[in-house]
C-alpha cells in the first residue's frame, strides 16, 4: 500500500474533510475573516492548509503542531498570493506582460518562488490568467492583458518559473492557475459580477491559457467567484469536472476562491450551506478556501445523500498527492539553501523587469532628457510615494525597498538640481497645493509630472466606473501644462487610464504601471536614455470609457466603420479606434518592416509555414523591436476575428542595422474550433499580417491557402 492509500484507509471522515479545509491565518487580509481558533482546529485534524501566513518562524510553529500534535501527522500546506514577487516586488503582471518576454516572466516567478519557499510557503495563488478587456475591472492589473495567445505563453512561463523542474525541489512552489474562468468579462467591469459570454468565446478566448497551464503541469487551479451563464464557477460541473478533469485530464487540486462555496447561497443556487458544500464537491472542488463549509456541512451532505464518500476520498487523495509531490512528507519544513538565491541578483532582476515593462506611449522630441540637464521639477502625488510603487499584490513586500522617481532621478543625475512637490494627493479634494507646486517649475527645463492611481485603486475589489485621473490631478496637470515648461508625464496605473486629453498636450507620456521595488531606478534609466524602452501594450488603450470593451481581435461586422457612411458600425461622437493599439510602444529609435514573404503559398495539415520580414533600424540608437504576426481566416463557418495573434519575435538592431526576422508557424496556427469546439483546419484563404502593433492600417500582408488534406 502506498503512503496515500494507507493514510486514506486510516482517516476518519472528519480528518478527511480537514484535509479539504484551507483557513486564513490573518497575517494578511485578502477577504472577509471568520472566527475560530486556528491552533485548536489544527490539533483536532480539521485543517489541511493555511493561507496568509509566511515567514520561517510562523509557518514552522504551525507545521510543528500538525506534525507533533495531530493523530496522523500530515504536514500542512502554506499558500499565499504571489502575483508579482514575494519579498522583492516586481512589476504587476499587466506591466510584465508588456515586456513580451517569456524568459523574463519565468525568471521573476522563479525568484519569487525561491523567496517564498524560503519563507515556508509551498503554494501560490498565481498565475492569474483571466483574459481582461475591460479597464474598469481592477483585476486587469493582475492579468496578462487582452490576448489569449499571450495569456497561454504567460501561463507556461510562470508555471515553469514557480514549479521549476520538480515540485519536490526546495525552491519550487506549486502554482495555481486562476481564476477559472471568465471573470475578466464581469458585467460592466464590476468585480465579482456575473459573466455571460458565449461558449465559443470561452473556448476561443478564456480557456486557452488554462489549457496551456494544465499542459505545463500546473499543480492547482482556482475556481472563480463569478458565475458563467448563471452557474457559479465553484459549482460548475461542466467546466470543472467535464472540461478540466475529463477533457483536459487535469488531476491536480481544484481550490475554491475565498469563501466562494458559502457564497453559492447569495448566488441563488444553494438553499443552504449543506447544498452549497455538495454542489462544490460534486463539481470537483477539492479545497474549500476559508468558508469552512466543507467542515461544517459535508458530513450532513453525506447523510442527506447529496455527496458520495468516493467524492470526498478522491478530493483527499488529490490534496495528499500534492503534498507528496511537494516533498512535504519527507521534508515538511523544506529549507532552501542560502546558495539558492542572491539578494543582489534578485534586485538586478527587479530593475531589469521594471525597465522592460515601461511602455513609452508618446514622445514628441523630448526624451531622452539631455545628460547636462540643470534643473528638473518632479511634480505630482506619485513622484515620491514609495508604497505606491508596489502595486496591488505585495503582501510580503516593503515600501522601504522602493525607489521613487524622485530618488531614481537624483541618483541618475547627481549634477542636476531636482526639486519636488506633490501638489495634490492622489485622490482628495484638496487643490490648495497646486499653485505652489507649479511655481517650482519656474526655471526648470522640464516638468516630470507623476500622476495616476494609488496602488490599491487597482487589483481586487477595485473596479472604477470612470478610470481617469482621480482627485484633483487633472487640475494639477492643466496648471503644469499652462506653465509652458515641457511636461513629461509618468503615469502610474494598474490599467489603461482615460487620458486622451493629456496625451494630446504633454510632450511625452511614459506608461509606468506599478513597477515594484526598482520603479524609480528604471524610470530614471528611461528618462535619461540609459535604457531604450522596449515594452509594448498587451492591451488596447481606449480613448474613453464608452469604447470599453475594445480589443484588437474583434469579429468583423457586415458594416465596417466608414466615416462617409452613417449606416456603419461606429459612434456619432468618437472614433472606433483605440487611443493606442495593442502592441503599441515607442523606443528612441525607429524600425521599419519591409518585404514580407512566405516559403509557400499553399499548405496542408502537416505543413509548416516559414514567414520572413526585413526589419531595419532607421534610427541612430541601438534598439530592440517586437514584431507581431497575426492571422486572418477570410471565410469560415463561424466568422473569425479580424486579427489573431499567432507569434511574436524580438529583434535587437544596432543603428541603421537590418536583419531578417523569421517565424515558423505550424498548420495549427490556422485552425478554428468547429461546432463541437474541436480544433480543425478548414481549407480556404488566409492573410498573414506582420507589423509593430495591431493597427491594421500599418500591417504588411501576404496571402496563403489551406488545402484539404
Ligand atoms: C482572490 C484570489 C486570492 C484569494 C486569496 C480572493 O479574494 O480573488 O485571487 O487568491 O482571495 O487571497
pLDDT tens readout for residues 511-566: 999 999 999 999 999 999 999 999 999 999 999 999 999 999 999 999 999 999 99
pTM above 0.85, yes or no: yes
Q: In which band, very low, low, confident or very high, does the pLDDT at 32 lie, cut at 50, 70 and 90?
A: low
**Residue with the nearest Cα to atom 12 of ligand 1?**
30
Q: What residues contact residue 344 under an 8 Å CB cut-off, 6+ apart?
A: none
Alpha carbon distances (Å) from 359 to 128, 287, 363, 406, 580: 21, 39, 11, 19, 11
Phi, psi of 624 (to 5 degrees): -125, 125
Residue 67's pLDDT is what? Answer: 97
H or E stretch covering 160: helix 148-163
The proportion of the chain whose per-residue pLDDT surpasses 90, expressed as a percent, equals 96
Q: In what order do the strands lie in the sheet with 417-421?
A: 359-363, 508-511, 487-492, 446-452, 375-379, 417-421
Determine whether 215 is an active site residue: no
Distance CA 301, CA 46 (A): 17
How far is Cα of residue 490 from the mean position of the Cα atoms in its chain?
21
Asked whether 393 lines ligand 1 (CB < 6 A), one says: no
Asked whether 257 lines ligand 1 (CB < 6 A), one says: yes
Q: What residues contact residue 240 under an 8 Å CB cut-off, 6+ apart?
A: 180, 223, 233, 254, 283, 284, 285
Mean pLDDT, residues 406-435 taken together: 97
508-511/487-492 β-pairing: parallel
Closest by CA to 692, choosing from 553, 541, 586, is 586
Exposed (0-12), middle (13-18) or buried (19+): which is 483, by Cβ within 10 Å? middle
Asked whether 81 lines ligand 1 (CB < 6 A), one says: yes
Contact 195, 187 (CB under 8 A): yes
The proportion of the chain whose per-residue pLDDT surpasses 70, expressed as a percent, equals 99
Distance CA 258, CA 33 (A): 10
Q: What residues contact residue 685 under an 8 Å CB cut-off, 6+ apart?
A: 634, 635, 703, 704, 705, 706
Contact 315, 288 (CB under 8 A): no
How far is Cα of residue 105 from the mean position of the Cα atoms in its chain?
11
Contact 42, 59 (CB under 8 A): no
Residue to mutate (ligand 1; options 31, 54, 176, 180; most atoms within 8 A of CB): 31
Model confidence pLDDT, tens digit, residues 675-697: 999 999 999 999 999 999 999 99
Place of cell 485530464: 249
Contact 616, 623 (CB under 8 A): no
- What is the atom index within ligand 1 of the atom nearest the CA of 224? 8
Distance CA 491, CA 474 (A): 12
Model confidence pLDDT, tens digit, residues 116-138: 999 999 999 999 999 999 999 99
Model confidence pLDDT, tens digit, residues 72-97: 999 999 999 999 999 999 999 999 99
Grouping H, G, I as helix, E, B as strand and the rest as coil, residue 314 is helix
Mean of pLDDT over the chain: 96
The angle, 0 to 180 degrees and rounded to 10, between the axes of the packed helices 309-325 and 293-303 is 150
Task: Decide if pLDDT at 33 tops 70.
Answer: no
Q: What residues contact residue 567 under an 8 Å CB cut-off, 6+ apart?
A: 559
Q: What is the DSSP letter of 707?
A: P
Distance from the alpha carbon of residue 502 to the mean position of ligand 1, in angstroms: 34
User: DSSP per residue over 594-617, as a string?
Assistant: EEEEES-SEE-TT-EEEEEEEEEE
What is the helix, strand, coil percentage profile of the chain, to 5? 35, 20, 45
Model confidence pLDDT, tens digit, residues 247-299: 999 999 999 999 999 999 999 999 999 999 999 999 999 999 999 999 999 99
Task: Decide if pLDDT at 652 tops 70.
Answer: yes
Residue 12's pLDDT is what? Answer: 98
C-alpha cell at 558: 457586415
Model confidence pLDDT, tens digit, residues 436-469: 999 999 999 999 999 999 999 999 999 999 999 9
Contact 354, 390 (CB under 8 A): no
Residue 219's pLDDT is what? Answer: 98
Can you count the helices (H) and strands (E) in the chain?
Answer: 20, 26
C-alpha cell at 589: 529609435
Distance CA 241, CA 248 (A): 10
Q: In which band, very low, low, confident or very high, does the pLDDT at 1 lie, cut at 50, 70 and 90?
A: confident
Model confidence pLDDT, tens digit, residues 333-355: 977 777 777 889 999 999 999 99
Asked whether 460 lines ligand 1 (CB < 6 A), one says: yes
Distance CA 82, CA 30 (A): 12
Residue 341's pLDDT is what? Answer: 74
Q: Work out the angle at residue 76's Cα, subtended by the Cα atoms of residues 71 and 81, and round it to the nearest 5 degrees.
A: 160
Residue 35's pLDDT is what? Answer: 61
- What is the atom index within ligand 1 of the atom nearest the CA of 52? 12
Report H helices in 286-397.
Answer: 293-303, 309-325, 343-357
Distance from the alpha carbon of residue 33 to the mean position of ligand 1, in angstroms: 12
Residue 705's pLDDT is what? Answer: 98
Phi, psi of 62 (to 5 degrees): -70, -40
Asked whether 125 lines ligand 1 (CB < 6 A), one says: yes
Distance CA 132, CA 209 (A): 12
Distance from the alpha carbon of residue 461 to the mean position of ligand 1, in angstroms: 10
Mean pLDDT, residues 590-615 taken together: 97
Closest by CA to 469, choosing from 528, 405, 534, 423, is 423
Contact 538, 97 (CB under 8 A): yes
Phi, psi of 205 (to 5 degrees): -115, -50
Asked whether 689 lines ligand 1 (CB < 6 A), one says: no
Alpha carbon distances (Å) from 656 to 533, 561, 649, 693: 17, 38, 19, 21
Contact 185, 198 (CB under 8 A): no
Residue 530's pLDDT is what? Answer: 97
Asked whether 162 lines ligand 1 (CB < 6 A), one says: no
Choosing from 257, 352, 517, 525, which is the catalytic residue?
Answer: 257
Contact 498, 474 (CB under 8 A): no
Amino acid at each position: 500500500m502506498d503512503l496515500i492509500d494507507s493514510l486514506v484507509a486510516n482517516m476518519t471522515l472528519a480528518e478527511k474533510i480537514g484535509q479539504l479545509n484551507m483557513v486564513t491565518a490573518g497575517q494578511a487580509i485578502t477577504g472577509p475573516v471568520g472566527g475560530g481558533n486556528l491552533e485548536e482546529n489544527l490539533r483536532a485534524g480539521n485543517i489541511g492548509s493555511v493561507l496568509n501566513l509566511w515567514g520561517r518562524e510562523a509557518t514552522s510553529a504551525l507545521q510543528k503542531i500538525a506534525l507533533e500534535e495531530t493523530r496522523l501527522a500530515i504536514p500542512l500546506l502554506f499558500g499565499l498570493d504571489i502575483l508579482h514577487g514575494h519579498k522583492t516586488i516586481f512589476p504587476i503582471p499587466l506591466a510584465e506582460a508588456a515586456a513580451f518576454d517569456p524568459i523574463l516572466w519565468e525568471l521573476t516567478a522563479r525568484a519569487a518562488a525561491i523567496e517564498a519557499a524560503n519563507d515556508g510557503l509551498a503554494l501560490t495563488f498565481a498565475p492569474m490568467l483571466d483574459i481582461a478587456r475591460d479597464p474598469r475591472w481592477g483585476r486587469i492589473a493582475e492579468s496578462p492583458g487582452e490576448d489569449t495567445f499571450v495569456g497561454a505563453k504567460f501561463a507556461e512561463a510562470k508555471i515553469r518559473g514557480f514549479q521549476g523542474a520538480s515540485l519536490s525541489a526546495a525552491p519550487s512552489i506549486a502554482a495555481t492557475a486562476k481564476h477559472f474562468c471568465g471573470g475578466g468579462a464581469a458585467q460592466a467591469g464590476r468585480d465579482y459580477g456575473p459573466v455571460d459570454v458565449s461558449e465559443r468565446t470561452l473556448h476561443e478566448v478564456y480557456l486557452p491559457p488554462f489549457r496551456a497551464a494544465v499542459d505545463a503541469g500546473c499543480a492547482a487551479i482556482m475556481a472563480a467567484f463569478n458565475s458563467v451563464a448563471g452557474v457559479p464557477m465553484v459549482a460548475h460541473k461542466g467546466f470543472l469536472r467535464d472540461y478540466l478533469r475529463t477533457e483536459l485530464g487535469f488531476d491536480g487540486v481544484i481550490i475554491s476562491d475565498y469563501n466562494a462555496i458559502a457564497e453559492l447561497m447569495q448566488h441563488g443556487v444553494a438553499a443552504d450551506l449543506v447544498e452549497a458544500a455538495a454542489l462544490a464537491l460534486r463539481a470537483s472542488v477539492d479545497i474549500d478556501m476559508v468558508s469552512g463549509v466543507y467542515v461544517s456541512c459535508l458530513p450532513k451532505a453525506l447523510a442527506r445523500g447529496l455527496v458520495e464518500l468516493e467524492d470526498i476520498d478522491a478530493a483527499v487523495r488529490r490534496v495528499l498527492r500534492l503534498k507528496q509531490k511537494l516533498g512535504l512528507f519527507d521534508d515538511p519544513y523544506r529549507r532552501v539553501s542560502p546558495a539558492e538565491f542572491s539578494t543582489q541578483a534578485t534586485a538586478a532582476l527587479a530593475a531589469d523587469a521594471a525597465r522592460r515593462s515601461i511602455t513609452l506611449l508618446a514622445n514628441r522630441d523630448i526624451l531622452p532628457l539631455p545628460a547636462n540637464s540643470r534643473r528638473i521639477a518632479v511634480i505630482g502625488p506619485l513622484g515620491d510615494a514609495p508604497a505606491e510603487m508596489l502595486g496591488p499584490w505585495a503582501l510580503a513586500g516593503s515600501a522601504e525597498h522602493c525607489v521613487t522617481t524622485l530618488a531614481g532621478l537624483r541618483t541618475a543625475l547627481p549634477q542636476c538640481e531636482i526639486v519636488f512637490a506633490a501638489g495634490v494627493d492622489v485622490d482628495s479634494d484638496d487643490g490648495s497645493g497646486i499653485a505652489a507646486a507649479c511655481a517650482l517649475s519656474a526655471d526648470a527645463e522640464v516638468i516630470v509630472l507623476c500622476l495616476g492611481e494609488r496602488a490599491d485603486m487597482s487589483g481586487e475589489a477595485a473596479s472604477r466606473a470612470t478610470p481617469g485621473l482621480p482627485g484633483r490631478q487633472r487640475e494639477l496637470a492643466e496648471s503644469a501644462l499652462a506653465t509652458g515648461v515641457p511636461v513629461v508625464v509618468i503615469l502610474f496605473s494598474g490599467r489603461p487610464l482615460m487620458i486622451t486629453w493629456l496625451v494630446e498636450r504633454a510632450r511625452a507620456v511614459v506608461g509606468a504601471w506599478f513597477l515594484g521595488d526598482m520603479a524609480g531606478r528604471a524610470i530614471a534609466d528611461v528618462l535619461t536614455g540609459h535604457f531604450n524602452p522596449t515594452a509594448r501594450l498587451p492591451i488596447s488603450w481606449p480613448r474613453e470609457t464608452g469604447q470599453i470593451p475594445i480589443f484588437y481581435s474583434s469579429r468583423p461586422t457586415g458594416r465596417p466603420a466608414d466615416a462617409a457612411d452613417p449606416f456603419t458600425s461606429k459612434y456619432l461622437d468618437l472614433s472606433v479606434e483605440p487611443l493606442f493599439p495593442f502592441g503599441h510602444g515607442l523606443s528612441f529609435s525607429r524600425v521599419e518592416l519591409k518585404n514580407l514573404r512566405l516559403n509557400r503559398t499553399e499548405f496542408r495539415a502537416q505543413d509548416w509555414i516559414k514567414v520572413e520580414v526585413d526589419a531595419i533600424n532607421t534610427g541612430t540608437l541601438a534598439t530592440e523591436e517586437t514584431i507581431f504576426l497575426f492571422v486572418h481566416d477570410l471565410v469560415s463557418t463561424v466568422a473569425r476575428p479580424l486579427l489573431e495573434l499567432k507569434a511574436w519575435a524580438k529583434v535587437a538592431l544596432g543603428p541603421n542595422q537590418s536583419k531578417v526576422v523569421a517565424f515558423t508557424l505550424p498548420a495549427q496556427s490556422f485552425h478554428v474550433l468547429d461546432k463541437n469546439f474541436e480544433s480543425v483546419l478548414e481549407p480556404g484563404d488566409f492573410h498573414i499580417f506582420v507589423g509593430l502593433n495591431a493597427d491594421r492600417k500599418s500591417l504588411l500582408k501576404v496571402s496563403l491557402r489551406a488545402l484539404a488534406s
